[in-house]
Structure 1
Amino acid sequence: MFCLFSFKTACSQEVSDSSKFYKVETVDGNEYVGHIIIMNSDYIRLKTANLGEITINQKDVTKLSVISKERVSGGGVSYGELHSSRYFTTSNGYGLKKGSGYYQNMWIFYNQFGYGFTDNFSISAGVVPLFLFAGASSPVWITPKVSIPLKKDKVNLGAGILVASVLGEDNEAFGYGYGVITFGSGQKNLSIGLGYGYYGNSWSDRPTISLCFKIPAGKRGYVMAENYFLPIDDERVMLSLIGGRSLIRKVALDYGLVIPVVSGMEQFVAIPWLGVTIPLGED
């Protein structure tokens, strides 16, 4: 906004820029995306994919920003990239961009924030605030993560550790360390992960293996799944979370079913899943 104001007041010279994509936000809440044909102190003439050339009065513009070509979809802005580092509950090999973040809520009680300190390092932290109910013990956790692009937008490697505790209980820290490799772009990918749980100084001797994927379904939706193969005694246990993601502007609405599969299980069980993620710090 400051840059836009500075431009307006500095000169009235007409400027054109057809090499970049711009997003113009207006006072009525609309967004327009395209190449700038003419911009001066009175108006912006924008060449859009769907509407052709349009003229927007400068007094109606609230924000003008440059966006990457990858985020232009169907003549508008795709916000799927803002959620490219996560599935339902777990992350993939991609990381948050520097200065960006998110707030995630699942079934009201689960709350988590994440922030990218660099393009390769982020930290998320969360709480289930049961202390609001008669001071009940409340789980808290923090998860630092590093992300390394092995081949840009095709192969990414991620690693992190979740450190958790329960406020109000006299217990040792617990959690898990993990590594994950992701094949594909941030919008369409497959991830294979390996993790070891721990409690105090004791680590599990067998890993949990994860297999997750995300596939676009329409302009504003995805089909997603998380599958975990758990090392529980001599049982063969798989925990699956299968469902989808719908984008409502920048906000991601996740929904699905949690399906446990245990050897010898005689009854089908499916638990509803609902979550919402709000991106922070990005257009």
Structure 2
Amino acid sequence: MSSNPQNSDLDAQPGHVYLVGAGPGDPSLLTLRAAHLLRTCDVILPDDLVSDAVLDLASPTALIIPVGKRCGQPRITQAGIHDLMLQHASSKDGEPGSSVLRLKSGDPLVFGRAGEEIAFLREHSLPFEIVPGITAAFAVAASLQTPLTDRNAASKLILATAHHAAGKVTLTPSQMWSGAFPDDSTLVLYMPGRDFTTLAASLIESGIPPTTPCVAVSKASTPDEHVCPTTLEHLGTAPIGPAPVLLLIGQAIQTNPKP
């Protein structure tokens, strides 16, 4: 059963787990709730994409246990993350457990594997709260000063990932949407991988015009942000920055270029 923040103290509560969005990297884009929980939680389990600047806001007494990935290789399994939440939040010898902050980049409910953790917490009757964060797509749009939906160019927004949960398998467009790609849409691809030549060819084959504008943004909202505007046909040779990368495709990118 999840807790209700309106009926509890603002400080992190003993024995509670908090699934919190850390936003895209810039600590000034944290919600007030996320920042407060960073200062008051006993144990913090951050993904690797959570920036050091965000973690600097944590309590100096907090136990920080990184649980993300390095170069695509998990340092801990999802089951191991579950065990850490249970271990630290559970009561011991009659004493309440610790408050646990499961800190995810962006928003925990957008490609954040929160569903598995929610199911686990419910199964073990651990009280929890979900705190939304700014997902990378919205941070990128703000940085580019480009609406993802524009009544002159895009009335639809598609958020997708190019990787399958069962492994690092690049998905085809037919697995991301049904039928032809709607030309009045903006497509945002999280985790597009590094084979942009194959990805572009697959998108073009699905019916997206080769001249469709796109932009690849690396390390959004951080001091190392790198923006690479191009078109779909030239995506494979574009100088795209290092991961994490977000790829935006659609006519709205061209309609509202940043000055």
Q: TM-score, normalization: structure 1?
A: 0.29
Larger of the two Rg values belongs to structure: 1
* Structure with more relative contact order (C-alpha pairs < 8 Å, separation 6 or more): 2
Would you tell me which structure has more helix in proportion to its own residues? 2
Would you tell me which structure has more strand in proportion to its own residues? 1
Q: TM-score, normalization: structure 2?
A: 0.31
